[in-house]
Amino acid sequence: MSGTVKFHRVLTAPASRIYRAFLDPDAMAKWLPPHGFTGKVHEMDARVGGRYKMSFTNFSTGNSHSFGGEYLELVQDERIAYSDRFDDPNLPGEMRTTIVLKPVSCGTELSIEQSGIPDMIPTEMCYLGWQESLQLLGQLVQAEVPD
């Protein structure tokens, strides 16, 4: 049985900025790695059928793990769906992540569902990692930086 996690946030940022943060390699490397990790995007072809490859490195130990997948659905500023597979054979299976963006009066409602999490990964660890990542996403997209 594989795990599923779901998240709901309201961010004071336009959907276009959040959408871009999920598809820009530099933005992904900045916000997606949870606390204590660095991230590197090795490949990103952000189109339906396109692939991506990324790795997280534990800053303390230097150990890293890589993962990648395919973009399954991209609806500009509204919806992103992609698959994920770890390169580690001890973490088998394919995950699916779906992000839905909906404009609301004060910004954008963000809903995320990740399913197919390998049994070896406790869902509470996924919740913790995503919470940290979403905190960083908020800091990136909600900042109003003058030109």
* 118, part of any domain: yes
Tens digit of pLDDT for each residue in 96-115? 999 999 999 999 999 999 99
Question: Residues, the chain, total?
Answer: 147
* 65, part of any domain: yes
Query: Which neighbouring-strand residues pair with 102?
Result: 109
Instruction: Kindly report the pTM of this predicted structure.
Output: 0.92
* 94, part of any domain: yes
* 113, part of any domain: yes
Report which secondary-structure segment, H or E, holds 39.
Answer: strand 37-44
Is the Cβ–Cβ distance between 73 and 58 less than 8 Å? no
CATH number, domain containing residue 76: 3.30.530.20
Report DSSP state, residue 127: H
Report DSSP state, residue 61: T
Is the Cβ–Cβ distance between 130 and 35 less than 8 Å? no
Intervals of the chain under pLDDT 70: 1
Domain that holds residue 37: 3-142
* 147, part of any domain: no
